[in-house]
Amino acid sequence: MITLKDPVTKVPLIGPVQAKKLEKLKINTVKDLLYHFPHRYDDFTQIKPLASIRVGEKTTIKAPVTALTQHFTRTRKSYIMATLADDSGSIQAVWWNQPWIKQTLRVGQNYYFSGKVAFFSRKLTLTSPDYELENTETIHTSGIVPIYPEGEGISSKWLRSRTNAVLKILGYKELNETSNQETELDNYPLEFRKKYNLLYLPLALSWIHFPNNFGEVSRARERLAFDELFGLQLKNQHRRQSWENRRATYSLNLEKNKTAIQKFITSLPFTLTNAQKNVTQRISEDLKRNIPMNRLLQGDVGSGKTVVAAAAVYATYLSGYKSLLMAPTEILARQHLRTLSELFKVSAKLKIALLTGSTKPTSHNLQESNLVIGTHALFHSPAELKKVGLIVIDEQHRFGVKQRGKLVDKGIETNKALTPHILSLTATPIPRSIALTVYGDQDLSVINEMPPGRKPVITWLVPGKKRPGALMWVKEQIKRKNHQAFIVCPFIEESEHETLQTVKAAKAEFSRLQKDVFPDLILGLVHGKLKAKEKNEVLVKFRNGELHILVATPVVEVGIDIPKANLMIIEGAERFGLASLHQLRGRIGRSGEQAYCLLFTSTHNPEQNQRLNAMRKYHNGLKLAEIDLEIRGPGELFGTRQHGFWDLKIASLSDLRLIEKTKNAAREYGKIRNI
């Protein structure tokens, strides 16, 4: 008898050599083997008469071997040729370099053969088909045959036979739908399974490998996908619960401070949008509780998240606590310093300090400050950061989960048992399915409304041959209307992190543009390998209108605010996710004048073009993110990789129906198990 926990070497015919090879496929235990799922199936349910076979198809036939001979080519390659015949006709089969087949096949015996049909010596031929004797158990050549991700020295055929052996030894192959028992083989109680219409786990494992029809495949997949998502939901619930057991550093006495906050809001140079008002209201509710806030605020670029965060900072200040605001880059940190100083100018004399790699305030300043704005340097923040009541994390998707945790811990460290409120800001649109999984442990608020007066950015796709004309048009716009332009270079490698190569390409592009295309304009270049100070200088020049065009690598400019920039060219647009394109595009068109975004592409792939076309049609980040999620999968966009959501084998992060189902189920299960 074997159990799921046993090493694979317990399975008959798996020795140490195969075990080593299986290790590379991350298969160590019997369970791992059963959870190495087929990635597709060959359908051999229809056994064809020989006469109906066509070249190029994969097929299964049943026929006797009528002749069996060994041959050699002129170059002494050996092959075995068999003639197979049924009432309707005959076909031949050929196996290369497998001389033993001559000994294993018997003339006169009936076999199933399955393989691809080609022409060989001008005759219809099955090339190296799998075969199995008729009237034996056939798992390779008839019915629906699973095809697995293979490894070195590990073929689908071999995996199939070992998986089949395990299922048999465990008795899973004898199960049917009535064998839905309350046993340890299934992790859920029977009643729970019934309620959520879940297939008995051992049966699902049997069906996923050896289904009788595709209906069984989809039922098995549903059960196994449920398990995956349910596991995530339980973890989320657990994290959420342990968060709720914490106590907040402070809770806001809203009644006492209401008028002061109101005063701050009326002191602003603009009226808050309704969406901003609602979110601000939600946040002050959060701050009143003695459980720390853990809220993620999503809003398109330019929707005005900063001022909402400022209201929270202000409330924290009124309560006598310090706020930390962490930005992913020094440029952004400086921009926040400027805008927040401006916002607080009228209502209060908040003391603000900047803490970055290049700017270190004195310890006295840190101690005295009500708000510390900084970059990663905050991680190493000195002990002066006492009484932290609120942590705001801007562009939170730019930080790893671990980094975020570290910052929170930092806050806790300074306050012993107490946890600061956490407000995360992101411009990355989050489809509901992602919000419920990847961000399932946080509360989510959305600013779904832009400040008044913004016009949607007109977006064009520009194929290679129209590129020179487009560049000339941009030049004219800059000269005539005194507009400014971004030119965003593509990622050179398949990563959203900036590599040296990307920087190199950006430099080359910069000199080319300056010399050949825009010799009479002033261009600047900014990329991630510049020192913070250098970056800042370029950006200040651009903001002050001393540069016409800013050439930038994709990661640099997140979040920066340049009101007069109304034009954007994005090179290699097909390399970007739609949500990233949308975020880039959000950098322009903030002055109320019509802005234009030109997506330069070189792809002829119709699917890519269709994807990019969505950019012309939609100006809603969420809609675009959903389209991308459908077409490209979650990618790295939503932090899925860091969260380990990559391990999902069957479930899809866009499967909202199943995600909602598992969330509800986890809630109920939590009640049953009291976790």
Asked if 577 interacts with Mg ion (CB under 5 A), we say no
Measured from the CB atom, is 236 or 424 closer to Mg ion? 424
- Closest separation between CB of residue 302 and ligand ADP, Å? 5
CA distances from 654 to 199, 225, 389, 639, 657 (A): 22, 12, 36, 15, 9
* One-letter amino acid for residue 357 of the chain: G
390 CB neighbour count, 10 Å cutoff: 30
Query: Among residues 143, 211, 299, 429, which is the contact residue for ligand ADP, using CB under 6 A?
Result: 299
Show the site string, 549-568: x = touches Mg ion by CB under 5 A, - = not. Answer: ----------x---------
Segment 231 to 270, residues that bind ligand ADP, using CB under 6 A: 270
* One-letter amino acid for residue 469 of the chain: G
Exposure of 343 in the CB half-sphere (CA atoms within 13 A): 23
Measured from the CB atom, is 202 or 299 closer to ligand ADP? 299
Say which entry of ligand ADP, Mg ion, none residue 94 contacts (CB below 5 to 8 A, set by partner kind): none
Measured from the CB atom, is 7 or 302 closer to ligand ADP? 302
Measured from the CB atom, is 236 or 335 closer to ligand ADP? 335
Segment 172 to 191, residues that bind ligand ADP, using CB under 6 A: none
Show the site string, 276-295: x = touches ligand ADP by CB under 6 A, - = not. Answer: x-------------------
Asked if 273 interacts with ligand ADP (CB under 6 A), we say yes
43 strand-pairing partners: 144
| Cβ–Cβ under 8 Å, residues 583 and 558 | yes
Asked if 301 interacts with ligand ADP (CB under 6 A), we say yes
SS3 443: strand
Alpha helices in 319-466 (DSSP H): 330-347, 363-368, 401-415, 432-437
- Closest separation between CB of residue 282 and ligand ADP, Å? 16
- HEC string for 132-193: EECCCCCCCCCEEEEECCCECCECHHHHHHHHHHHHHHCCHHHCCCCCCCCCCCCCCCHHHH
SS3 363: helix
**Residue, CB closest to ligand ADP:** 304
Query: Among residues 180, 294, 306, 566, which is the contact residue for ligand ADP, using CB under 6 A?
Result: 306
Can you tell me the distance from the alpha carbon of 205 to that of 187, in angstroms, rounded to the nearest whole number?
Answer: 13
- Closest separation between CB of residue 301 and ligand ADP, Å? 4
CA distances from 272 to 335, 338, 343 (A): 20, 20, 13
Measured from the CB atom, is 202 or 559 closer to Mg ion? 559
Query: Among residues 221, 295, 305, 582, which is the contact residue for ligand ADP, using CB under 6 A?
Result: 305
- Closest separation between CB of residue 453 and ligand ADP, Å? 7
Closest CA to 302 of 554, 555, 559: 559
- Closest separation between CB of residue 427 and Mg ion, Å? 7
Say which entry of Mg ion, ligand ADP, none residue 561 contacts (CB below 5 to 8 A, set by partner kind): ligand ADP
Give, as one character, the DSSP assignment of residue 199.
Answer: P
Query: Among residues 451, 572, 589, 639, which is the contact residue for ligand ADP, using CB under 6 A?
Result: 451
Buried b (16+ CB within 10 A) or exposed e, 193-215: beebebbbbbbbbbbbbbbeeee
Measured from the CB atom, is 551 or 562 closer to ligand ADP? 562
Name, in order, each residue with C-beta under 8 angstroms of 321's C-beta and a sequence gap of 6 or more.
249, 250, 387, 388, 389, 390, 420
Asked if 537 interacts with ligand ADP (CB under 6 A), we say no
- Closest separation between CB of residue 500 and ligand ADP, Å? 29
Can you tell me the distance from the alpha carbon of 294 to that of 606, in angstroms, rounded to the nearest whole number?
Answer: 42
Sign of CA dihedral 33, 37, 40, 44: positive
Helix (H) or strand (E) segment spanning residue 421: strand 421-426
Measured from the CB atom, is 211 or 559 closer to Mg ion? 559
Asked if 307 interacts with ligand ADP (CB under 6 A), we say yes
Show the site string, 551-590: x = touches ligand ADP by CB under 6 A, - = not. Answer: ----------x-----------------------------
Residue that the structure tokens 């299960």 belong to: 669
Q: Which segment (297-305, 542-550, 572-580, 643-651) binds ligand ADP by CB under 6 A? A: 297-305
- Closest separation between CB of residue 350 and ligand ADP, Å? 17
Asked if 524 interacts with Mg ion (CB under 5 A), we say no
| Cβ–Cβ under 8 Å, residues 408 and 422 | yes
- Contact footprint for ligand ADP (CB under 6 A): 270-273, 276, 299, 301-307, 427, 451, 561
Q: Which residues bind Mg ion (CB under 5 A)?
A: 559
